[in-house]
Structure formats: C-alpha cells, structure tokens
C-alpha cells in the first residue's frame, strides 16, 4: 500500500507542478505532462516502477477521449464541414502517409512497417494546436478553421487506423511475441472469436457493432431515466463509466479496437439529451488518465538511445516536419487558404501528435513495428511536439509582421461608404443585416475568405483583408466615414484599432465590441464611448426570464432588469477613470474602494426599496429581490 501511495504522490506532484508552469510559458498541458514524466524518470527507475504497465492502463484515457470526440460529432456539424473535413483532412492524412511510407521503403523498410510509420506520422497534435489557436484568438480565422477540420479528420481516422494496424503484423514478430508470452507463462486472453472460422468471426463482429449501436440508440435513455430515480450523482458517473468500459470490453472480446466501439457509441449519443451529462461524468477520468499516459510517455523516453542516435533522430524530426508542412502548404493553395492563414495551417500542424504515442505502442503490441524502431520513432514524435511552441513563435514574430506590411493578400477596395464594419462573424453579421435592412450601404472587411465568398453570393459588398491595418482603413474611406463598427473577436486587436482611430480620426463615431467587463474599461481609456459587451444584453434577458420563472410578473421583471442595467451603467462610468490599463484590478486600490462604495450605496437603496409582504407574492420567500 505504501509503495502505491508513494508512486501516486510522485505522479500527482509532477503533474501539478509541471503543467501550470508549461501552460504559463505557452507550451501547453501535453508538453507539461511530457516534461513531468522526463523529470521524474530517475525517481521511477529508482523505485523500480514498471512504466509500461502503467502506460497500458492509462491508454484507456484515449478510449475515453474518442468517446467524447464521438459525442461532439453531430451529423449536422459534420455535413457542414464535409468539404474541408473530407477533402483537406483526407488528402493531408493520405498524402502524408504515402510520402512517409515511400521514404521509409527507400531506406529499406518492408511495406507493412513503412505504411504503419506513415499512418503514425500523418497525425498532428490536437491538444497542442487547438489550445494554442484558442489562446492566440486564431480559431475563427481561415487558418484556424482549416486546421480544426484537418485535426477532426485525423481524430476520426485514428479509428480505422486502429482497425488496420493489426492486419499489418509481421509473422516473425508475432512468433517472437508468442515465445515471450510462453516464457512468462501467460494464459490466453478471453475472446469470443478465437475458435471461429472467417464467416463466423465476421458475423460475431458485425453483431457486436450492431449491439453497440442498439445500446446507444435505444437502451441508454431508459437506463438513465431509471438511474435518475435514485437522485444520486455518483450513480450517473458509475453508469457512464459502465457504458464506456462495457463497450470497450465487448470490442476487445471480438478482436476490435476498444476505441472503435466507444467512438461509435459517442456518435450515436451525440443528439441524446444525456450527452452533456455523459461528457461531464467522463471528462475528469479522461483528463487524469491522459495526463498519466503522457507522464509515462515522458518517463519512458530512452535518453541513452537519443544520445546514441542524436543526429539521426534530429534529422528524422526535422525531415518529418518539413514534409508535413509542404503537404499542408500545397493543400492550402488548392483549398484557397490565403496569406498568413496558409502559413498558420502549414506550420501549426507540422508536428506529430499525441496519438502517435498510442499508435506506436499499439504497433509494438500487435507485432507490426519492432520495439527498437518504435523507440526511435517515439523520440521523433516527442521532439516534434517539443518544437511546436517554437514554430508558433516564428509565426508570430516572422510571418504575421510580413503580412501586416503587405497589401498583396488583401482585396483592393474600390468602393467606400459612410459605414464601415470590421468583422462579419456572429456579431458583425447581425449588425450589418440591421443596417442594410434600414436602407444603409455598408463596407464590410473580414479576414475569412470562406465567409466572404458566401456573402458575395447574396450580393453583399464585402472585402477580404485585415481591417486593423491603417492602409486598408484608408482605402475603405475612414476619413469620410460617419460610423465604424468594430466586431472582430480579438481583444487586443479591438483595443489597438480603437486607439488608432480615436487618435487619427476623432470625428468618426465608433461602436466597439467588448469581450468582457475589463475590456470595456480598456476601450474607454482608448477613446471609445459607444461600447457593447458581447453577452451583456442576452444575460439581461436571461435574468428577466429567471425572475419570471420564480413568480415575478413580466412588468416587475422588466423593471428590475431595467433598474439593474441603469445602475450597472452608472457604476461603470463612475469607476472608468480610475481603471489603469495593464494594472490588475486586485492591485488597483482606488478602483476597489470606489467599487465597494458604489455597491454599498446600491445595496442600501435596494434595502430601502424592498416591498412589503402584501406588495409581492414572493416577498416572503425572496425578500431581497430588487424592484424597479
């Protein structure tokens, strides 16, 4: 028991310390876990820990990840993304796998090993890339959306890869594995298909898949309704684990990948009313097991092997990243991804991915790739992931400035109007429709070519380009504009644009989108006086509905919300001049004292305005509710 507790403590401490530091440095959680594993590898060796056994246990986190991926894949979303998903993603995986396979065969590898290596290296790091894109506000760009399509296809492609890899087994490696099993005295594992012929195996396999689909479609709803009667949260968690583990077990018994079954079950349950319950129950276990898996990967890196083959492994790593970047750059041209978005996709997805660790372990376990080769390839995967943050730094420091100073990728703006809208997403699009419906002509600038091509089909006057660039604003007629609507979703870019326009074109009325409350203060300090918080109005409407839901009349609810809105706006104006850009709110003493004074006055007024029991039906149960 003591040994287990000591091991658990070491693993948890390494993750708790390394991951926040890595995240703070922009390296991402996956690299944090890898670094943690590298750091504690001497300790694990000293404790004589069987890292490989722990890794096999932790691989179930990947099974859970694919179940959650399936839950996210609603058929309607897949249909909308079909062109880039199948075209861009499919060609990237297929093209990269074939090129890597050809190169491996040139260097003397059999076709089966070469194909397995190509499949492993075709994948990129979903965890690192998506986290980085979200942190940098690039997820909504063409490059971000294209990268997401490729990563999504790769995640889906893991399923057929897991089914295909066992078919590539090398007879001599299988023989060695059997001898090793006999030497250790292990018995045969449970199986439903061991003594069946080909057609019987096929029938049992198809029946197992059909059973998974049947369970997901028809049994989960009555099962969860039955569990709900007990009103015990832990039973929901136990049931979710039972479903995932049970399906994984069934797939293993018929000789298929456990990930295949859980993925199919996830897709079937994507439209279920229990989808979010399943996600919330499985997510913590998935996160912990994946973290443990990456720690074991870091701990199992053979540094003596790296030192002995340093030049070879570095050449393989750099060569792989160049091949993937070239394939992605060509596909970006074919699919009309332009400018810095093309570089974002090519550079951002050039690494191997976390599923590479899983597939390499899987290939060794299934006698496809010799362990000596797999160990070297594991180092290539790890090094390529470790280099990824450096690639994003190169993108920020070299690629972005180059395109910021270049006008070649932007449309030539031949017409200008009184109203300019920067950004035509879910916010700017509605503003544009309101203005056009009122009879106004608008000039729209957006950096998503896909979005603009769709708008042009409807006859909307739009131009491609970075609306924060001074030269593009000049071409759009900012000197003569009456109104500038800033609806992009990058906080820093919005603030920078507001500051530039307020200093150089003070007569232009600006309506700026604020991401959050502190951003309002940043925009106020930058010179904008017409600021709209992107979720504020919808939150007020939800607040009004909440009041109605507990018994308030529509009139009382509207008055309460109006009173709150008026007070909140007054409070924001009262403290706006005390806000210091760049200084954390917790360190701004004057701001804090003013807020406390305003809230104290507000609470006093609310208390004095409380209704008597006879004035409101809910006065007894909710006496402190604000009234208009």
Taking only the tens place, the pLDDT of each residue in 260-291 is 678 778 877 777 777 777 777 887 887 788 78
Helices first, then strands: H and E counts in the chain? 30, 6
More confident residue, 625 or 65: 65
Across 327-346, average pLDDT: 88
Residues near 445 by Cβ (< 8 Å), separated by ≥ 6?
413, 420, 421, 422, 423, 462, 463, 464, 465, 467, 472, 476
Across 551-556, average pLDDT: 90
**Helix/strand/coil (H, E, C) string of 445-481?**
EECCHHHHHHHHHCCCCEEECCCCCHHHHHHHCCCCC
User: CATH for 419-588?
Assistant: 3.40.50.720
Distance between CA atoms of residues 317 and 377, nearest Å: 9
Quick one: how far is CA 135 from the chain centroid?
10
Where do the structural domains in the chain lie, given as residue ranges? Answer: 2-175+191-399, 419-588
pLDDT at 78: 65
Q: Tokens 């005390």: give the residue.
A: 578
The residues that bridge with 532 in the sheet, in sequence order, are 513
Asked whether the predicted pLDDT for residue 178 surpasses 80, the reply is: no
Distance between CA atoms of residues 40 and 298, nearest Å: 9
Q: How far is CA 214 from CA 70, 130, 159, 193, 222, in A?
A: 16, 33, 20, 21, 13
Residues near 275 by Cβ (< 8 Å), separated by ≥ 6?
71, 269
pLDDT at 459: 66
More confident residue, 456 or 243: 243
Total residues found in the chain within this entry: 628
CATH topology classification for 2-175+191-399: Na+/H+ antiporter like fold (1.20.1530)
CB-based contact 528:510 (threshold 8 Å): yes
Across 166-188, average pLDDT: 59
Taking only the tens place, the pLDDT of each residue in 133-174 is 766 767 777 788 888 889 888 877 887 887 788 888 777 665
For residue 421, give the 3-state DSSP assignment: strand
Taking only the tens place, the pLDDT of each residue in 506-545 is 889 999 999 888 888 888 888 888 989 888 888 999 999 9
pLDDT at 218: 83
- Residue closest to 326 by CA, chosen among 610, 95, 104: 95
pLDDT at 331: 92
614 C-beta neighbours (distance < 10 Å), count: 7
Mean predicted lDDT score pLDDT of the chain: 80
pLDDT at 179: 52
Copy the structure tokens of residue 286: 């998935």
- The strand pair at 509-514 and 442-446 is best described as unpaired
Distance between CA atoms of residues 448 and 422, nearest Å: 11
- The strand pair at 509-514 and 531-533 is best described as parallel
99 membership: H or E segment, kind and range: helix 90-106
Copy the structure tokens of residue 222: 């009555």
Question: φ and ψ at 627, to 5 degrees?
Answer: -115, 155
pLDDT at 208: 86
Whether the model clears a pTM of 0.75, i.e. scores above it, the answer is: no
More confident residue, 214 or 106: 106
Give, rounded to a whole angstrom, the gap between the first and last alpha carbons of the chain.
63
- Choice among 71-75, 86-90, 565-569 with the minimum mean pLDDT: 71-75
DSSP string, 36-82: HHHHHHHHHHHTT--HHHHHHHHTHHHHHHHHHHHHH--HHHHHHTH
pLDDT at 624: 35
Q: Kindly state the DSSP code that residue 403 receives in the 8-state scheme.
A: H
CB-based contact 487:422 (threshold 8 Å): yes
Residues near 572 by Cβ (< 8 Å), separated by ≥ 6?
517, 520, 521
For the chain, percent of residues with pLDDT exceeding 90: 13
pLDDT at 512: 92
Asked whether the predicted pLDDT for residue 625 surpasses 80, the reply is: no
Asked whether the predicted pLDDT for residue 627 surpasses 50, the reply is: no
pLDDT at 122: 94
H helices present in 165-274, as ranges: 171-184, 198-214, 220-228, 233-253, 258-268
For the chain, percent of residues with pLDDT exceeding 70: 84
Residues near 463 by Cβ (< 8 Å), separated by ≥ 6?
410, 411, 413, 443, 444, 445, 446, 452, 476
Asked whether the predicted pLDDT for residue 628 surpasses 50, the reply is: no
Burial class (CB in 10 A: 0-12, 13-18, 19+), 537: exposed
pLDDT at 339: 80
Across 550-573, average pLDDT: 87
pLDDT at 617: 44
- Max mean pLDDT among 78-82, 185-189, 234-238, 459-463 falls in 234-238
Q: Tokens 């000591």: give the residue.
A: 6
Residues near 502 by Cβ (< 8 Å), separated by ≥ 6?
510, 526, 527, 528
For residue 137, give the 3-state DSSP assignment: coil
Distance between CA atoms of residues 277 and 282, nearest Å: 9
DSSP string, 340-360: HHHHHHHHHT-S--HHHHHHH
More confident residue, 148 or 119: 119
Q: What is the dihedral of CA 223, 224, 225, 227, to 10 degrees?
A: 90
């Amino acid at each position: 028991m003591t040994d287990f507790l000591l091991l658990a403590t070491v693993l948890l401490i390494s993750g708790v310390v390394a991951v926040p530091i890595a995240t703070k440095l922009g390296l991402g959680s996956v690299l944090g876990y890898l670094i943690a594993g590298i750091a504690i590898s001497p300790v694990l060796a000293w404790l004589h820990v069987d890292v490989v056994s722990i890794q096999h246990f932790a691989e179930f986190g990947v099974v859970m990840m694919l179940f959650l991926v399936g839950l996210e894949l609603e058929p309607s979303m897949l249909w909308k993304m079909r062109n880039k998903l199948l075209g861009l993603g499919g060609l990237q995986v297929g093209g990269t796998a074939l090129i890597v396979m050809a190169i491996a065969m040139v260097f003397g590898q059999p076709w089966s090993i070469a194909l397995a290596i190509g499949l492993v290296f075709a994948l990129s790091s979903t965890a690192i890339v998506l986290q980085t894109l979200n942190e940098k506000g690039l997820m909504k760009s063409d490059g971000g959306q294209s990268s997401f399509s490729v990563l999504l296809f790769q995640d889906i492609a893991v399923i057929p890869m897991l089914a295909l890899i066992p078919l590539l087994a090398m007879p001599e490696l299988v023989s060695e594995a059997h001898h090793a099993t006999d030497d250790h005295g292990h018995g045969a594992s449970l199986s439903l298909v061991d003594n069946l012929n080909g057609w019987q195996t096929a029938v049992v396999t198809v029946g197992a898949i059909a059973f998974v689909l049947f369970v997901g479609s028809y049994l989960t709803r009555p099962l969860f309704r039955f569990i709900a009667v007990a009103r015990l949260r832990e039973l929901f968690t136990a049931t979710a684990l039972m479903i995932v583990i049970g399906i994984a077990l069934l797939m293993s018994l018929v000789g298929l990948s456990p990930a295949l079954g859980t993925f199919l079950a996830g897709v079937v349950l994507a439209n279920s009313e229990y989808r979010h319950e399943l996600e919330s129950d499985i997510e913590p276990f998935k996160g912990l097991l994946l973290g443990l898996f990456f720690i074991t990967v870091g701990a199992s890196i053979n540094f003596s092997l790296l030192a002995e083959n340093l030049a070879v492994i570095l050449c393989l790593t750099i060569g792989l990243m160049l091949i993937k970047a070239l394939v992605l750059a060509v596909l970006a041209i074919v699919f009309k991804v332009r400018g810095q978005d093309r570089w974002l996709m090519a550079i951002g997805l050039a690494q191997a991915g976390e599923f590479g660790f899983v597939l390499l372990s899987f290939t060794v376990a299934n006698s496809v790739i010799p362990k000596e080769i797999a160990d070297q390839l594991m180092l290539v995967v790890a090094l390529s992931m470790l280099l990824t943050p450096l690639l994003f730094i190169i993108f920020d420091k070299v690629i972005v400035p180059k395109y910021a100073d270049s006008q070649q990728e932007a449309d030539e703006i031949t017409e200008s109007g009184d109203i300019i809208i920067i950004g035509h997403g879910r916010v700017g699009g509605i503003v544009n429709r309101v203005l056009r419906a009122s009879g106004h002509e608008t000039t729209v600038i957006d950096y998503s070519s896909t979005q603009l091509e769709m708008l042009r089909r409807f006859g909307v006057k739009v131009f491609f380009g970075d609306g924060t660039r001074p030269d593009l604003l000049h071409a759009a007629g900012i000197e003569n504009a009456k109104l500038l609507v800033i609806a992009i979703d990058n906080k820093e870019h919005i603030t920078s644009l507001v500051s530039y326009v307020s200093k150089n074109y003070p007569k232009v009325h600006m309506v700026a989108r604020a991401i959050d409350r502190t951003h309002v203060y940043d925009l106020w300090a930058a010179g904008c006086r017409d600021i709209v918080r992107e979720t504020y109005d919808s939150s007020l409407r939800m607040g009004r509905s909440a009041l109605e839901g507990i018994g308030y009349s529509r009139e009382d609810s509207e008055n309460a919300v109006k009173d709150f809105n008026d007070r909140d706006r007054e409070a924001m104006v009262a403290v706006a001049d005390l806000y210091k850009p760049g200084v954390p709110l917790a360190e701004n003493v004057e701001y804090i004292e003013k807020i406390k004074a305003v809230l104290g006055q507000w609470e006093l007024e609310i208390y004095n305005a409380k209704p008597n029991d006879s004035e409101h039906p809910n006065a007894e149960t909710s006496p402190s509710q604000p009234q208009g």
